[in-house]
Amino acid sequence: MTHREQLTPHGHVLRYTFPERLNHWVAAGAYLYLVATGLAFWSPWLFWIAVMLGGGQTSRMLHPWAGLIFASSLVYMFVKWSKQMKFEPVDKEWWKSLHFYITNQDDKMPPAGRYNAGQKMLFWSFFFGGLVLLLTGLVLWFTDALPWSWRWLRYVAVILHPTAALITIGNFMIHVYMGVFAERGAFGSVIRGDVSMAFAKRYHPSWYEEIVGNSQPRK
Amino acid sequence: MSQATLRIQKISGHAGSIPGQDTQRDLQVCKLVDTTTCIGCKACEVACVEWNSMPFSPTTFDNTYQTMPDTRWNYWNLILFNEHEREDGSLQWLMRKHQCMHCAEPGCLEACPADGAIVQYSNGVVDFQQSNCIGCGYCITGCPFNIPKLNSVTKRVYKCSLCTDRISEGLEPACIKSCPTGCLHFGTKEDMLDLAGQRTKQLKEHFGYGNAGVYDPPGVGGTGVIYVLHDATKPELYGGLPANPSIPFVVKLWKHPLKWLGNLAIAGGLIGLFVHYLRFGPKAREDEDIPPVGAQP
């Protein structure tokens, strides 16, 4: 019996290891700071957020560093999860049945694996959104270092950075809603690490089948 | 004139109304630079550095009269030289006093996210307030004239203030005062346009400059610095003066449609999720995993 099994109560299964959970909260902390200060720079009506967080100058100074922390946590997620996030035929079916998912008729959903199509979309939107934010963010960070003849790069950055941010914000809101409110038990998986077998069976039937040994795990 | 000219009509990154806006109309101030009588003596550069208490700025030598390639955070006024070869092979030495244009519709102010870091006074002067500047450099992106310069140590942006401290006391800007040829003039926009028009007429009728004209670009609502050019059809020859400057399209896109679409999407998303929870609630209750009391095994 391994240490991990000792800590996971009977009828539960470990979904996220400690490094994965820690990385999730590093990403969450950095992202919340980035959104808060980013929104302050986005709208004059929200500039008070920057004032609350130590002033506009401090926010401008720390925002890029928080961005680097967030980008590194995305790299870790990519290394750990990108294979599991590959889109598969069942995901197409899942999208077609999205209205059942939204109206809580989960019994009518095609069987999702460890991640359903929505979670995969969240992952990839954050990965590619994060990539765009990182690249355009570097341009905005060192904007004064660009020569006048390269100003087109500033124009590209200044429009893509908020656009990519908005896309991640939309996904983030759904992510928090699903994890905290809609799928009860999901939040525990990024705190304690485990979910109940009932949770696995209800939301990730194919994954459940793998756990109980009825099917081979996907590579 | 002193305090009245410092009334503010535009504030960067400002939520809500602007105190005192439109309560009083003011004469628009304007610098007129007649490039046809500029001799490139750089007295205006020295006067600018002196009046604004800025240190000596190191120069570079590139085999021309150009002492430095561009303005700096502590060097706001620079003569740009161009040894232009005309179609007939003759040389024309073009010189232009390069500084903030004080646009009526300033791209820097449009792009700035910091409350009160850039203001436009009711006399049209666009002024940076370094105490409110956060050093993001968005003004650099917003400016069509490559004017704002960041101090990499203090992380604040600087540029010509049109000697606001002087003109609010009824004095002319330092550069104007120092000009030995009288190619620099200062006054109301109306008077300067009138003077520029007279000079243009003179250039056309008596000096054979058929394309002479006034540079007051409408793309930025007109400017608080206007030029008389020998050839107004080719402003680029004068140190890259843009022919038709305007606030960059992406800055307008970012600050208006994208902002409102984004705000609507965020607010709509939050309301949508809340209403979804009211209507459908959680997918399953956590206690459904636990058999109810008295249930049969």
For residues B54 and B116, membership in a common domain is answered with yes
For residues B157 and B20, membership in a common domain is answered with yes
For residues B109 and B206, membership in a common domain is answered with yes
Q: What is the pLDDT of residues B5-20, one digit of tens each?
A: 468 999 999 999 998 8
pLDDT value at B105 more than 70: yes
Q: Which amino acid is at A198?
A: A
Contacts of A144 in chain B (CB under 8 A): 137, 140, 149-150, 152
Domain stops at, among B230, B247, B264: B247
For residues B264 and B209, membership in a common domain is answered with no
> What CA–CA distances, in Å, run from B165 to A216, A217, B184, B185, B230?
78, 75, 19, 18, 33
The predicted model gives A36-46 an average pLDDT of 97
The predicted model gives B148-157 an average pLDDT of 96
Cβ contact, residue pair B282, A181, below 8 Å: yes
Which residue from A minimizes the CA distance to B267?
Answer: A170
For residues B257 and B229, membership in a common domain is answered with no
The predicted model gives B171-200 an average pLDDT of 97
What share of chain B has pLDDT > 70, as a percent? 94
Q: Look at residues A95, A93, A97 and name the one whose alpha carbon lies nearest to residue A108.
A: A97
The predicted model gives B235-250 an average pLDDT of 96
Which residue from B minimizes the CA distance to A202?
Answer: B284
Helix axes A56-81, A117-141, angle to 10 degrees: 140
Read off the pTM: 0.92
pLDDT at A214: 73
Count: domains in chain B: 2
For residues B267 and B235, membership in a common domain is answered with no
B66, B81 in Cβ contact below 8 A? yes
Which domain range does residue B138 map to? 4-247
Task: Out of B15, B132, B135, name the one closest to residue A44 (CB).
Answer: B15
Q: Which amino acid is at A169?
A: I
What share of chain A has pLDDT > 70, as a percent? 95
Strand intervals (E) in chain B: 8-11, 29-34, 78-85, 91-98, 118-121, 126-128, 149-151, 156-158, 184-188, 213-215, 225-229
Average model confidence (pLDDT) across chain B: 93
Which residue from B minimizes the CA distance to A101?
Answer: B283
ipTM of the complex: 0.91
Output the domain CATH number for residue B183: 3.30.70.20
pLDDT value at B259 more than 80: yes
Cβ contact, residue pair B113, A174, below 8 Å: no
What share of chain B has pLDDT > 90, as a percent? 86
Q: Which amino acid is at A39?
A: L
Contacts of A148 in chain B (CB under 8 A): 70, 146
The helix/strand/coil state of A116 is coil
> What CA–CA distances, in Å, run from A86 to A116, A123, B81, B102?
10, 10, 59, 54
Best of B133, B158, B283 to mutate (most A CBs within 10 Å, chain A) = B283
pLDDT at B6: 66
CB atoms within 10 A of CB B269: 16
For residues B279 and B204, membership in a common domain is answered with no
Confidence of residue A1 (pLDDT cuts 50, 70, 90): very low
Query: Distance, in angstroms, between A79 CA and closest chain B CA?
Result: 30
Query: Which residue ranges make up each domain of chain A?
Result: 10-212
pLDDT value at B22 more than 50: yes
pLDDT at A2: 47
Mark which residues 197-256 of B lie under 8 Å from A by CB. 248-251, 253-254
Q: What is the pLDDT of residues B24-57, one digit of tens each?
A: 888 999 999 999 999 999 999 999 999 999 999 9
d(CA B223, CA B124): 9
pLDDT at B295: 53
For residues B46 and B141, membership in a common domain is answered with yes
pLDDT value at A6 more than 60: no
| Interface contacts (A, B; CB < 8 Å) | 123
pLDDT at B258: 97
What share of chain A has pLDDT > 90, as a percent? 87
The helix/strand/coil state of B74 is coil
Token duo for residue B182: 């009288």
For residues B52 and B154, membership in a common domain is answered with yes
For residues B27 and B57, membership in a common domain is answered with yes
For residues B221 and B128, membership in a common domain is answered with yes
Question: Does the CA dihedral B135-B136-B141-B142 come out positive or negative?
Answer: negative
Query: Distance, in angstroms, between A57 CA and closest chain B CA?
Result: 4
Output the domain CATH number for residue B280: 1.20.5
Mark which residues 135-154 of B lie under 8 Å from A by CB. 135-138, 140-141, 146, 149-150, 152
d(CA B273, CA A122): 16
B144, B245 in Cβ contact below 8 A? yes
Residue B297 placed within a domain: no
Average model confidence (pLDDT) across chain A: 93
Q: What is the pLDDT of residues A165-213, one digit of tens each?
A: 999 999 999 999 999 999 988 999 999 999 999 999 999 999 999 988 8
Q: Look at residues A75, A64, A77, A85 and name the one whose alpha carbon lies nearest to residue A17.
A: A77
For residues B155 and B234, membership in a common domain is answered with yes
Contacts of B276 in chain A (CB under 8 A): 102, 177
Cβ contact, residue pair B280, A148, below 8 Å: no
**B270 shares contact with chain A (CB less than 8 Å):** yes
The predicted model gives A45-58 an average pLDDT of 96
The CATH architecture of the domain made up of A10-212 is Up-down Bundle (1.20)
Confidence of residue B1 (pLDDT cuts 50, 70, 90): very low
The predicted model gives B96-100 an average pLDDT of 97
The residues, ordered by sequence, that sit 6+ positions from B237 with a Cβ below 8 Å of its Cβ are: B82, B84, B94, B231
pLDDT at A9: 76
Residue B9 placed within a domain: yes
Task: Out of B113, B140, B273, name the one closest to residue A144 (CB).
Answer: B140
d(CA A71, CA A133): 9
The DSSP call for residue B55 is P
Kindly tell me the burial class for residue A197, based on how many C-beta atoms sit within 10 Å of its own C-beta (0-12, 13-18, 19 or more): middle
Confidence of residue B289 (pLDDT cuts 50, 70, 90): low
pLDDT at B285: 73
Residue B295 placed within a domain: no
